[in-house]
Structure 1
Amino acid sequence: MFQTFEAKSSPEQGPPRLDALRRKMADTNADAFLVPRADAHQGEYVADRDARLEWLTGFTGSAGFCVVLADIAGVFVDGRYRVQVRNQVADVFTPVDWPEVKLTDWLTRHMPDGGVLAYDPWLHTVNEIKDLTDKLDHISLRPTDNLIDAAWADQPAPPAARFSAHPLEYAGESHADKRARLADALKAQCAVITLPDSIAWLLNIRGTDIERNPVPHGFAVLHADGSVDLFAAPGKTQDIAEHLGPDIRVHDVAGFLGHLTTLDGPVLIDPKSCPQIVATTLRDAGTPLMEGRDPCILPKARKNPAEIAGAKAAHERDGVAMVRFLAWLEAEGPKGQLTEIDVVKKLEGFRAQSNALRDISFETISGAGPNGAIVHYRVNEDSNRPVNPGELLLVDSGGQYVDGTTDITRTVAIGTPTDEHRSCYTRVLQGMIAVSRIRFPKGVGGQHLDAMARAPLWLAGQDYDHGTGHGVGSYLSVHEGPQSLSRRSEVALETGMMLSNEPGYYREGAFGIRIENLIVTVAAPALPGGDDRAMLCFETLTYVPMDRHLIDVSMLSDAERGWIDQYHADTLQLLGPRLDDVTRDWLAKACAPL
């Protein structure tokens, strides 16, 4: 499934494309134009047609935005992408450290009083525009048709593949029951839903509109009687008419805004994900609005027993592929004949051999040596480098199976690691173990637990510039909210929520380390001497051995060592019977007690 990556923009294309955009700005009397990495559905991932930020700047990261003025064009990225952005954009663009540098502060410094900031109202949420409006009292915000589209001559067509039904045995609940359950809790006449994974979950449908993520592009209106108006491009629902049934009315997506003007209020919108144009259309029609959370967000995050069972089955299947890959890598890596692309192709081949893989869940990250320090590195023919003995190899990958979505990272020593490799790796491992072992009261959110993963690194003066964990979908997006393990997350963790647990450490120009398992939140068993307080803990879903060559046992506590030994014993018991004799022998050695 590996595809040779071809960027939509190379550094030499940046200047003429920026000039073309500035001419469009001048034609519309705009002093600045916002270019987000977003589409009209406000999901994290975008189709090729909507990759406007990449087309303009060459930056391929999954988060960021550009602000273009006549004399400066700032590309705003967070800590995950600061090495990457410098490698990808031409010098006509200025990287900006975000969120340390606030967009509003940057605009205040660079725009004149009375200046006009233009934006596409489909591509910015209600909250984003409200924040800018509130803080930029000397700058006028003006909605406009997208100026990138006007300059992008060979812009791809919108995705056109048909939707499919997601089987009840994996969904665990019919869409009729979901619709009725959510409708009963609505405090409005209806709710507008724009997020692709919310619509997919609510209606038990899937799509192929976003590469690697089985989500459908469309819009939906959930009514208080449990019925739904679904808006999609013509022909996309052709194969699921019987699945949808009479209570889900299908419309051409071109009529979505017009339909909004016919709704009786109050209409619920989620200001964090609803495009500004939806709110503007409803307000212009005189329709009362309510702001609140997308009604699908929390129910989708609380995985039901069928979804959890599917996740376990998917991870067991995926674990077999990973173990076969690691055994191969340990044999072949020290020979010095592999490249990063060789690694990607081999791993994806092992996954495909299960005959159950629908797709990989994101582009496989295979970063050798200094490339491992680029957090979301994506290998291509130009960047592809040898996997050299004496280096670390970071491999972050996952699979999409009809019963679950996987995401796992393992860092492996190619040949003999250095003492520094081992000490840094062990600190990362200690942080991952701390999250895996924690018990916590109900009401605790990810921001409380994030520090536990960092504490061993902090004690050594080290840290990492990404969250410790993200939510994960059920044969849906590999990144799913609202829960996360992050200092910015205020969402209380609940039973059934699946997350990644992935601390790391990155030394620019040298190496990167990340260890990632997926976990699910469960009720914690009572302990002798405890009170009656309801407690939660995490159950591990991912079972694949750690690289024992990188573990400095002298740094571990007895409890940490015991956790690793038990984890490896469980891994051998779970996966061993599914392996051939040679690979089973390798796994037995990899999982031997420390």
Structure 2
Amino acid sequence: MLMNTDEARLDALRKELKSRGLDGFVIPISDEHMSEYVGAYAQRLAWLTGFGGSAGTVVVLTDPALEPAAAIFVDGRYTLQVRDQVDGRLYDYESVPQTSIARWLEEHAPQGINLGYDAWLHGKGWVEAANKAITAKGGKLTPVASNPVDSIWDDQPAPSAAPALVHPDAFAGESSEAKRAAVSEWLAGKQLDAAVITALDSIAWLLNIRGTDVERTPVALSYVIAHADGTADLFIAEEKVTPQLRQHLGNAVRISARDQFVAGLESLSGKRVAVDPERAVSAIFEVLNRAGADVVEERDPVVLPKAIKNPVEQQGHRNAQTRDGGAVSRFLHWLSVEALKGEVTEMAAADRLLAFRQACGDLRDLSFDTISGAGPNGAVVHYRVSEETNRTLEPDSVYLVDSGGQYPDGTTDITRTVWVGPGEPPEEVKDRFTRVLKGHIALARAVFPKGTVGSQLDALARQFLWAAGLDYAHGTGHGVGSFLSVHEGPQRIAKSAGGQAGADQALIPGMIVSNEPGYYKAGEYGIRIENLVLVEPRKIEGAEGEFHGFETLTLVPIERRLVDTRLLTPAETDWWNAYHARVLDMIGPQLEGEARDWLEAQCAPL
């Protein structure tokens, strides 16, 4: 039966749950690899509810007469978006970390509930917390043999069959053999026999492979078991394996079918095996424990070395940022002319920005869906334009565009907020923009001792907003991969470690992180200024110990019409002028004619 409405799909799910003897079911945005962005086949929550965000979970209780009978859980990035996309008659809106699924279950689950979950889509910690809450209600948490959403999703896409691709050492900067040797050394040092690697970007980095299986993230669906002798087992669908891939991996990487992964785990009986509880699903722990393996919880040994970019990766990022900066600058020039006509829509702007990126050479994909938000849509932090929400960029309004590209030498992510003239911006908008800018500059100029963690720097970016009683409901910075995930751990700049994974990770030279404070006035406008920065050693004469700072990688002018220069200190003005002189020096040679003239005007000293 083909279902056309969210209500019909929810009704069908409840009937399926009832037929299985379940009193409820939990649907996360996740896949078997705990990925942030997932393949089309794994978009179960989006299919069921219409929610288009990248993070969220739904709990559906089988009895529709219960109050509430279903709830959707999202964080502060999606507070507005979830209300636009998900029917409030069908789902209660819940905000995390203010609440959690476990707390919700404690309050709302009926006594004796039999709650189903898919153990291949949830982490071990989530299962433990949910189980505790359900047990307190006299119920039980039941892993399902097959996902009930899949049973009612008639046109569910199949997982991608695209071939895995070799990522050349010229871009990687280090061979897969050397990376596997480092993992082998790590295992030996901890007296471990093997590590289960399930995060798709970790597998891609370790084996120097890429893929097209997940939109916006160049990875191939697969699993790896890395052994202490430097060999590895790769579990991947047979149709994805090419002769080039076999030659690249060599004899030290054994290739098995993806559906043999469980058997591969079972073969580790009696072995000491490292598994990352933050990145491996609960089912993996269950299989290993049943098989008699000695499971040791350790962070994925690939995560930290992947985050610390080697010199080749660092230079690749600079090269990619320079090309990308040229594309975005051309777009902003185009926008400065066309938007004044009052005919450019959010979708048209996003399409034109994509065209400029494609023209700059070797764009493999976007790094995420472009956030193209005009006026009030810009206040939706992770806004995703659609035919239903598509607005025209009106004269005398704010436009926010957050976008990025995937290039073989680097991944980009940039946000610019612009004023669509011809009139002068309101004083309030200039004040808010300038406070965001001051926070951005404070973080960009930060110098900090070795061992400093992201949560210690976060207040630098918020201080000027806080002084006016303002704030923003998202982190200030996330890690970025090398032709990999645009959101990469373990580093993060956020308010605190509590509920913010990675905020307690020391910032190490070679790490790339975003610098993106913002301000959002619901129903009116959004402001965000985002550059990517590279953590670098900072030499200070007479310093007592090692210190670090940031090299700004992103090279695109910032909207000068929104700056209230009266609020800037001389040091902040100096930063602005130095940054824009560098933008003109690096991007200017790529532009000609009116676009070059526009860039020179944008980069003139304040």
The TM-score normalised by the length of structure 2 is 0.95
- Note if 1:79 corresponds to 2:76: yes
Question: Which of 578, 581, 585 is the equivalent residue of 1:569?
Answer: 581
Distance, in Å, in 1 between the alignment partners of 2:379 and 2:415 is 14
Q: Secondary structure at the match of 2:293?
A: coil
Question: Which of 555, 567, 577 is the equivalent residue of 2:567?
Answer: 555
How many angstroms does 1:135 deviate by?
4.5
Asked whether the 8 Å contact 1:126–1:273 carries over to 2, the reply is no
Distance, in Å, in 2 between the alignment partners of 1:136 and 1:293 is 28
- Note if 1:199 corresponds to 2:207: no
Distance, in Å, in 2 between the alignment partners of 1:573 and 1:165 is 34
- Note if 1:375 corresponds to 2:381: yes
Aligned to 1:455: 463
Amino acid at match of 1:255: Q
Distance, in Å, in 2 between the alignment partners of 1:450 and 1:342 is 35
Asked whether the 8 Å contact 1:360–1:398 carries over to 2, the reply is yes
Deviations 1:139-180 (A, max 9, x none): 311111211111212111111100010010110000000000
* Alignment map for 1:348-363 (pairs within 5 Å): 348-363=354-369
Question: Which of 388, 406, 413 is the equivalent residue of 1:407?
Answer: 413
- Note if 1:584 corresponds to 2:584: no
Distance, in Å, in 1 between the alignment partners of 2:554 and 2:155 is 42
Distance, in Å, in 2 between the alignment partners of 1:222 and 1:458 is 47
Aligned to 1:481: 489
- Note if 1:517 corresponds to 2:531: yes
How many angstroms does 1:383 deviate by?
1.1
Aligned to 1:6: none
Aligned to 2:544: 532
Deviations 1:312-351 (A, max 9, x none): 0000000111111111111121121211111111111111
Q: Secondary structure at the match of 1:131?
A: helix
Question: Which of 514, 526, 530 is the equivalent residue of 1:500?
Answer: 514
Asked whether the 8 Å contact 1:504–1:515 carries over to 2, the reply is yes
Distance, in Å, in 2 between the alignment partners of 1:132 and 1:107 is 8
Identical pairs, percent: 49
How many angstroms does 1:568 deviate by?
0.6
Distance, in Å, in 2 between the alignment partners of 1:533 and 1:132 is 45
Distance, in Å, in 2 between the alignment partners of 1:373 and 1:32 is 34
Aligned to 2:445: 437
Q: Which runs of 5+ in 2 are unaligned?
A: none
Question: Which of 290, 310, 319 is the equivalent residue of 1:313?
Answer: 319
How many angstroms does 1:572 deviate by?
0.8
Aligned to 2:254: 249
Over 6 Å off, 4+ runs: none
Aligned to 1:5: none
Aligned to 2:43: 51
Distance, in Å, in 2 between the alignment partners of 1:113 and 1:382 is 41
Asked whether the 8 Å contact 2:105–2:133 carries over to 1, the reply is no
* Alignment map for 1:195-274 (pairs within 5 Å): 195-238=199-242, 239-263=244-268, 264-274=270-280
Deviations 1:14-40 (A, max 9, x none): 111111111121122222211000000
Distance, in Å, in 2 between the alignment partners of 1:578 and 1:85 is 40
Q: Which runs of 5+ in 1 are unaligned?
A: 1-8
Q: Secondary structure at the match of 2:604?
A: coil
Asked whether the 8 Å contact 2:106–2:133 carries over to 1, the reply is no
* Alignment map for 1:75-474 (pairs within 5 Å): 75-90=72-87, 91-138=89-136, 139-144=139-144, 145-186=146-187, 187=190, 188-238=192-242, 239-263=244-268, 264-415=270-421, 416=423, 417-474=425-482
Asked whether the 8 Å contact 2:411–2:484 carries over to 1, the reply is yes
Distance, in Å, in 2 between the alignment partners of 1:385 and 1:121 is 41
Amino acid at match of 1:309: Q
Amino acid at match of 1:496: G
How many angstroms does 1:214 deviate by?
0.4
Asked whether the 8 Å contact 1:371–1:511 carries over to 2, the reply is yes
Distance, in Å, in 2 between the alignment partners of 1:134 and 1:104 is 8
Deviations 1:552-585 (A, max 9, x none): 0000111111100110111111111222133222
Amino acid at match of 2:354: E
Asked whether the 8 Å contact 1:467–1:486 carries over to 2, the reply is yes
How many angstroms does 1:112 deviate by?
2.5
